[in-house]
Structure 1
């Protein structure tokens, strides 16, 4: 049984845009499922949180990471590559959530072992549906790997 199925799922959102962050938080709340949302606003902070670097030592590993590509300090692809090279983090599913529609971004994300690439919806209803789909597929249907290797 995955961590998500056994308890409240932990979702990490790596997003620097305040409007996108607020929208994501609101639609996940409206999707009406128990979860814990960890928020990192740049790539360095995301990696520190994932590694448990102080002051983040007490944070659980997320069940899933929603990762924007265009974030400061380390971009999303750098974070993704770092995660997939770390034995402790490589099994965590990473969904790229980006405004990009560039085929080069799709290819680069999948080459770096992203589990999915989703273009951010601009409409509230579409974004709410995306939150429900993530909940239903990634946190109910999919058997996630155990937390720490």
Structure 2
């Protein structure tokens, strides 16, 4: 059901093995701070870090558990609907209570998104070694590629 993997000309981003990811997520959950929540949210949604960093509250529908990333923010230049897991909604509800702007994951300065560096530090502090934020997408792709195909009846 997934498209064939494409050959990359620039190489792969270092990824966390998907079997190791639950331990990383557990350590992220134990960590305080916006950066740990942003990384966990990125892992749960398989979103690019730029999409997570630029997420704003008007894109989020907590009641429908849906994040609609507008076309202008997407590499494919079309709206992208991301269904949100229960944990992702929990993260968003907690983050919303502390929000001081439209940004979901605000950095240390008002009205500025969290930095890639802060997110990378949180990922590494959780034991991800040299894995990159983009590598979390690879972890998801590897997991999805190893799952048996099931068809709904």
TM-score, normalising length: structure 1: 0.26
- What TM-score, normalized by structure 2, do the two folds share? 0.25
Q: Larger radius of gyration, structure 1 or 2?
A: 2
Normalized per residue, which structure has more strand?
1
Structure with the greater relative contact order (CA < 8 A, sep ≥ 6): 1 or 2?
2
